Structure 1
Amino acid sequence: MAHVAGQEAVKGNIHLADSLSNLAGTYALQLNDSSLLAVVLNAKGKVMQIKGRRDSAFYYYSKSLHIAQLRHDSIAALPAMINLGNAMIDRHNSETGINYLKEALEIARKRNNKKYMAVLYNNLGKAFDIRGNYSMALQYYRAALDTLERMKSKEYYLEPLNNLANIYLYLGNDSLAMKYYQKVGKLADSLNYQSMQATALINIGNLYYENNENDKALKYTKAANALLGGQYESYLHSIIYLNLGLIHRNLGNAKVSYKEISKSIELARKFHIYDVLGEGCMEMARYYENHNQFHLAAKYANEAYQLAVNNNMLNLLPETSKLIADNYRAAGNTGKALKFYDLYSKYNAQYQDTINNKTTRNFAFLYELQKKETANKILMQRQQLDKQVLANVRLKLEQQRILIFLSIITIISVLLISILLFYRSRLKSRLNNALISNNNEITEQNKLLEKENAFKNKLISIISHDIKSPMMSLYNILELLSVDELSEEEKRELIRDNMQLTDRALNMVDDLLSWTRQQLNTTTVHYTTINVYDLGNEIITFFQPDAREMNINLVNACSPETTVYSDYQMLKMVIRNLFSNALKFTPSGGYIEMGVSKTNGHVILYVTDTGVGIKPEDQYKIFSEEKYFTTNGVRGERGNGLGLKLCRNFVEKSGGKIWLESKAGKGSTFFIEIKRASNSPSVQK
């Protein structure tokens, strides 16, 4: 009954599935069979998941696992553990979800259950795929395919093969993605597995759609729809209808597009396919806005916005918030318009950061693939060279045998053998020297390529983080200033905001130029005497508006007489970076203090906060050139992991040192040791 309940839920017969799963649970309780109850609860969780009730699904999976573990029933525990891991990943808790899946994989390995091993390899691949770790994802997908190859199971072969194609599509290798999609389609056709065959056709259509080949995209999407024509409507139909709507929109068929997207929304609501529903609502909002039906556009935009917020669909948040802001502005509600324009700027910055982070990971991953390909080529060259040497040696030995056989005089034979051995040794030595020389040249080229790629990735991330977001905010404020309905007081307020944002943007551009010069080794250190107290006041004044809004107290504990001998712009950049990081990781009600510690020919500046601190295992990554480390702030702010590395470069270039002390949950302190100016008094603390 539990199995039938799952099948009916997939068909969309939710009420029947719910009734059957409840009845199965009642029988399991009456039979007092806890192993059976664990299986029923796991099936109940699947029904809840298809109904869109994720919290309930999570509850039933957890309860099923708990009962199975109490009975030490690993057979019942495995499916519950897999579903629980997938549910955690679905709830954006990928680390915990991956741990559940890895634990399940260990159980499957111990029991030598290759079917579950293949399923878990595939699920782990999807988890790392979602996190953007494509190298690990590819390893797990290939492990799944290797396991299934040994099992000679073609049915389960389809999903990891399709996932492999999706990764190559995301990485921009269209030809390889198309090759795998076609493989999926042919295999699904041979197995008469229509849903997977339709999935392959949908993906091929998407590939053509992304390349703006709408006629080909329409052909394959219609083929997928025709293939599923005789079946009950499922979540695949909602995807097909949405894709048909988008393709017809591009082809200028607005009425057909509207009809197809309406059908997609109806099915997405039925099957709780939130990403498809969000995209469909957003498309309907665009449609009604283009037809000047702003109240309907606002209705769908608000629904898409709520779906994006509730399901963390960052790709929809910028456009939905801007559309809502535009509607409020058209309705004359300036206050709410400003609120959603601000949200648009925030979400757009986060979305761009996500894209840039993924781009950085893609560059790194593609570089790793390139290194592996280069290593494989070198290995093949070595093998060919070895074969050539071996062939030469065999030839020479054969010549020796012939010469020895034909030779009558022993001295002549020995002489000939010696000459041949010497020639072989000399040839081998020359080949080895050539191989060593080639290896050294390849190593030097790889190091140069790594350095160039690291510089490009850093530059992309800095430009996105430090320029694009403030410029977008400035644009929105200036756009609002053009509205004639604003009062003089509102205009003055917006002008003040505009001046503040302009000042910040100029400072960011200045910092970026300084960083670029430093990376290109063109920065000259200009030593001068700097009053630390005045510099502290300047930086605190810069951050005071943000700190006041966050309810964080900024304190300048430096002595007014303390001076240091350093580069003013570099030191200002470093301390401002430390304050910016401290604000990100300090909760409301905390404080950030800048002060001076005891000196002995040097001044030790410190910036301390009452923030969340840094875990011991992460502290060494902060200033490391080899490690990439970043984490979100307490209010969801995103970083690029480069600021503190830049601080270290500037401090060391000006002859100083920088280090940190931190305890998780109690805050962090960053120390900078700088030369003390000759007129600065000694300080004791």
Structure 2
Amino acid sequence: MKKPFFLFICFFFVLHGLSLRAQNLELIRSLRHKLTTTPEAERFEIFNDLAWEYRWAAPDSTIFYAQKAYALGQDLKLATGLAKPLNFIGVARNYQGKRLEAFDAYDKALNTATQQNDSVQIAYSNNNLGRLFFEQGLLSRSYDYFLRAQALFENINDSSGLAYTYQSLANLYKLQQDNAKAESNYLKAYRIRMHGGRTRDIMAALVMIGRLYQETGQLDKALQYLHRADSIGHVINDEINLADIKTYMSEALLNKGQLNAADSMCTAGLAVIVRMNTTRMMPQAYMTMGQIKFAKNELAQARKYFTLAMEVATRANELNTKMEVFYWLWKLSLKENNRAGALENQNQYLILKDSLNDLNVARQVERLQFEMDIERKEQENELLKVNHAKNEAVILQQRLQNIILIVIIAFISILGLVQWRGSKKRREVNDMLERQNQFIRSQREEIVDQNQTLSKHNRQLSDINHEKDTLMSIVAHDLKAPLNRIKGIADIMELEGGLTTDQHEYMDMTKNATQAGLDLIKDLLDVHMLEENVTPHYTTFDISAFMLEKVDAFTPIASAKQIHLHITRVESEQVRLDADYLSRIADNLLSNALKFSPSNGTVEVAAGKTADHFWFSVRDEGPGFSGDDKQLMFQKFRKLTARPTAGETSNGLGLAIVKTLVDRLKGEIILNSEPGKGSEFVIRFPLG
């Protein structure tokens, strides 16, 4: 290493000495020493390790060392691993609150890892993007990234990365109040951490599980896991995390009414937090201690701790904590019969509550702006890719033009040589051309005759097709009446009663068979009607009300198969479409999703509107579509490889009707599906 660079690093560490107290100083010193002794070509991983160690206290330092690693990796022309420093830059930007810059870094890391076929960094990039979207409240997008990361980590057998992804998914499920799935994923991460044997990771996993049980009111389980975390913390002598765990345990003991145990536990944790001046933990620790004293009716002590919590929260500008303190001071004043104090604290509590509501609205606006910025960046990236493809096409075209020009020049040269050799050769060529022209004229006449024959056949086929459609319509209408009578007779026989169990079963079979026939006739009539050139009837309606009506209509069918049918995203937006066409499209997609989904599965519906189009989607956890299925799926009467999971009927017309209606509305169908991994239909319509 050159001397000026070494001096700069030393000066940089002096400036940031105070902020490094939370880092592994011994490891940082060791890495800094390696930079002075390792050849430049081998410093890539050292720069990355330094960048990672600085991520908490000094994200600027993380960016500095990650950029050094990236530049060195480019100079060395590394075939893999170049995305790692880009991921670290994204982590640092996220800690700085620069979300868009973090997205740019993660996206660049994902593209770089994809180009290098680096599965590890592709997985970490997906997990990082998922965490970024999760923190901004974009749960649907974060879920997709988490699932991709999980699949990649499983394929490459990276247990540490897989544990991170399980914890990310658990946090998402907990936010959605799906506590069963949150618990399952936390426990999976814990088992991986136990197998890995890293004590600090095991302790963190135990705390996450304990906090989940505490928040869901399972206090005995919460204390069980927090006690395990406390025992492990004593093994590695991690005082500050032990203090945090003791605070959580005291909350659980307080909720169980074990006030003396809670008091003792919180006192021990608070002493460490105060001694080590850990500001981020102080407000909650003081609050918990105040609540314990309040419950023990030690009101003077309670006021003391609430006041200390207020002081720390005021310095740190933590509005949530201040609001909670004012709430407890209000309750404390009421208990002390101090009406003036109670009124003052109540007013302060309500003011802060209103302020937090305004702040939540502002954060929601910020999240929406972030989502719009991300979509804009993604569109810009797509445009750049298109322009790049166009440029490559232009370059290829220019190369082809040069080749053609060379060929033309060579041909002209040869032609001149042929002409120079004599007129005899030219006459032979002319005779040959005349024979070819005669041959071409004869072929042209034959083509004209064939075209006339084909035109006649086409007219005949059109007449036959018309007769077929007319016959199908007549047969379908004539079949409906007897089938309806059979169904009506079966209903009357059931109402009259007196049937045996076997006869009831036969009646059910009869009704199911007639209903299947009626459904087939309805689809046949729909297909026949839709093939006529009918102009759509456009009206304006609210898409959120439309989607809620559709989900309500299919909820009984979903409940019968124990399928969770819900809307993941919908906005109250006015759209202009043919509501009847859209209703038929939604009915067919929802019917197929429920028909081919297994019991205890999930069917998700979403809708939205962008600047230039309206879209809605239906996602299921069914068998998905194979490559052959995708080629045949929109053809009439084509039954695909998948079969209904509860013995329902399928006539192969639903997707054909969907395709016809979407084309009639000038829309497009996007299918995201892999065999065995479910499928998602996304329908897009232009707003114009």
With a CA cutoff of 8 Å and minimum separation of 6, indicate the structure with the bigger relative contact order. 1
The TM-score with structure 1 as length reference comes to 0.45
The TM-score with structure 2 as length reference comes to 0.45
